[in-house]
Amino acid sequence: MNAIQPAPALALAGNDNLKAWAKAALFVALLVGLMLFAQQALATDGTEFSDAATKFESWIKGNLGKLAAFVALAVGSVVAAVRKDWSWFFGAMILSIGVGILVGVVNASFTATI
C-alpha cells in the first residue's frame, strides 16, 4: 500500500525537533521585538540614577562611611587580638581605606569627558 503524505499545514505535527526550533525562533523574535520597543519607550538622558549615586557617595564619604570603617577596624582588632593573627586587622584596614578610594575611582570613570 501507498503511504499517505501529510498535508503541508500538518508538517510540524510529527517532527518534535522542528517544533522546538520553531518555538525557539518565535521566542527570540518576540524577545528582540520587546527589546526594541523597550529601547524606544524608555529612552532617557542618562541622569535617572544621579540622585541615587549622589546619595550613595555621601553615605560612603559621610558619617555612615566613617562609622562602617570604625566598626570594621574594631572587629578586625578584636579578632586579631583573640586569634593572634594580624591579618584580620590589616584586612579590615585595607577594606576601610579601599572603600573610600573605590568611590573616587568609580566617580572619576563615570564622569570622564570624551
Total domain count for the chain?
2
- Specify the 3-state DSSP secondary structure of 45: coil
pTM of the model: 0.46
Is residue 36, in this structure, part of any structural domain at all?
A: yes
Would residue 33 count as lying in a domain?
yes
Cα torsion for 72, 74, 76, 82, to the nearest 10°? -160
The whole-number pLDDT of residue 110 equals 66
Give the structural domain span for 56: 50-110
Residue range 20-73, pLDDT digits in tens: 888 889 999 999 888 888 777 666 666 777 788 788 878 877 888 888 888 888
- The alpha carbon of 63 is separated from its chain's Cα centroid by a whole number of angstroms, namely 27
Q: 100 lies in a domain?
A: yes
